Amino acid sequence: MDAAVTLATSMQDVKRNNIADVVSTYSKRLMGFIRRRVNTDADAEDILQDVFYQFIGNTQPIEQVTAWLFRVARNRITDVQRKHKPELLDDIYETNDDDMLGWAELFSDINDNPETAYLRNMFWETLQTALDELPEEQKQVFVMHELEDISYKDIAQITGASINTLLSRKRYAVLHLRERLQVLKDELLNY
């Protein structure tokens, strides 16, 4: 009986040592791999922790540890990117007020009268001015993705920038444009 307990204890020690060896061996490489593919260090650290948590909880034998770890990391990166979908042009001119005309409504054919045509023109002029204020890289990715409907993958091939870089540039562009269009909206409300 004591031999069985000793054997089980020594197997747990071996497993613990193996896990510690894998963590120390692959942590730096995995972190570098993950960090290049996500926007923040916090996301990278969370993904790394999830990878090792999944490794520790795995009950199936793993023949190629390196391939397994990087595959799990890639899958977790994809999951995180799906949760952090890029902001859309709709987010820029979205309104929360039910009783007033929202930016999106300016583009519908139902509201085609001289006043909405004037507001629509003001919107596009303000948008163009705000786009001209952006750094060229941010303006380029916003115009290509939102106005020309080019996919991030194609933009990455054209510009040579990574998709994460493009997402980040577009995010900054959207934040700036939203702020500038809010100024226009406030001016119209206080007119």
Residue with tokens 């054209």: 158
Q: Are residues 108 and 185 in the same domain?
A: yes
Domain count, the chain: 2
113: left (phi over 0), alpha (psi -120 to 50) or beta: beta
Please tell me the predicted confidence (pLDDT) of residue 160: 92
For residue 124, the enclosing domain spans 89-189
Give pTM, 2 decimals: 0.45
Residue at which a domain ends, from 24, 54, 83: 83
* Residues 120-126: contacts with CB under 8 Å, at least 24 apart: 122/184, 122/188, 123/93, 123/181, 123/184, 126/180, 126/181, 126/184
Q: What helix, strand, coil percent values describe the chain, rounded to 5? A: 75, 0, 25
End position of a domain, from candidates 56, 83, 110: 83
Question: Does residue 50 sit in the same domain as residue 8?
Answer: yes
Contact 187, 156 (CB under 8 A): no
Q: Measured between alpha carbons, how far is 112 from 148 in angstroms, rounded to an integer?
A: 24
Together in a domain, 110 and 165? yes
> CATH number of the domain that 26 lies in?
1.10.1740
99 and 75, same domain (yes or no): no
pLDDT averages per 10-residue partition of the chain, 191 residues: 47 58 87 86 87 84 86 84 56 46 51 68 83 91 85 90 90 88 73 53
169 touches 115 (CB < 8 A): no
For position 103, which CATH number holds?
1.10.10.10
